[in-house]
Amino acid sequence: MTMTTCPSTATPAEPEETSLYDAIGGRASLVVAVDVFYRRVLADPDLSQFFPGGVGDRHRAYLVTFLGDALGGPSRYRGRDIATAHRGLRITDANFDRVAGHLDATLDELGVPRHLTDRIIGIAAGLRSAVVTA
């Protein structure tokens, strides 16, 4: 490719930054991650109480879309805002930390590189004030 620029203003092309969404494999990877994540959460007696009827396909699809949006994917989450969705559930900081631990373990199990996992956990940590209600 030939680029025509004025020599005095030419700057080297900067590489495009890959989104976290693309770096972890896109939607297909998120679907797998959400399944593994919910398997872990539902097996945790301290967290399964928040899902007395289990987790249905609709809830899984919301989480896939929510995560995809948060990680720079093409689909935009259009569900309830996170604070409204978690209001009244009496989620504690300890509950939040356990969920974050399951997310971390899920990403590790799926072979997501540590530097990407750390960025994803950082994004999730930013939701604490909206999710913790007790």
- Reference 60, options 41, 84, 45; nearest CA is 41
- Of 40, 46, 43, 21, which Cα lies nearest the Cα of 116? 21
Q: Distance between CA 127 and CA 48 in Å, rounded?
A: 20
List the single range of 7-11, 42-46, 110-114 with lowest mean pLDDT.
7-11
pLDDT number for residue 15: 52
CATH architecture of 21-131: Orthogonal Bundle (1.10)
pTM to 2 decimal places: 0.84
Banded model confidence at residue 16, pLDDT cuts 50, 70, 90: low
Closest CA to 103 of 89, 119, 88, 91: 119
- Go through the chain and tell me how many residues it has: 134
Angle between helices 93-109 and 26-43 (to 10 degrees): 130
Half-sphere CA count of 77, side-chain side, radius 13 A: 20
